[in-house]
Amino acid sequence: MKSLLLLMPLASIALWGQAAPSVPASWDVSKSVSELAAQIAQLQPLLAGLTPQEWVKKGAPEAYVAQWQGAQQELGYLDQTTRALEKQPEKLSAALDVYFRLQGVEWRLESLSEGARKYQNPAAGDQLAQAVGAHAAKRDQLRQYISDLASQNEQEYAVVEREAQRCRVEQNRAAPAPTKSPAKRNAKAK
Query: What is the number of structural domains in the chain?
Result: 1
User: Is residue 150 assigned to a domain?
Assistant: yes
Residue 15's pLDDT is: 37
SS (H, E, C) 40-108: HHCHHHHHHCCCHHHHHHCCCCCHHHHHHHHHHHHHHHHHHHHHHHHHCCCCHHHHHHHHHHHHHHHHH
Report d(CA 152, CA 160) in Å as an integer: 12
Asked if 167 and 32 touch (Cβ cutoff 8 Å), the reply is: no
User: Is residue 21 assigned to a domain?
Assistant: no
User: Is residue 58 assigned to a domain?
Assistant: yes
What CATH number is attached to the domain comprising 76? 1.20.120
Range in 21-30, 73-82, 160-169 the model is least confident about: 21-30
Give pLDDT tens digits for 104-147. Answer: 999 999 999 999 999 999 999 999 999 988 888 888 989 999 99
Residue 6's pLDDT is: 39
Report d(CA 118, CA 116) in Å as an integer: 5
Q: Which domain holds residue 139?
A: 26-171
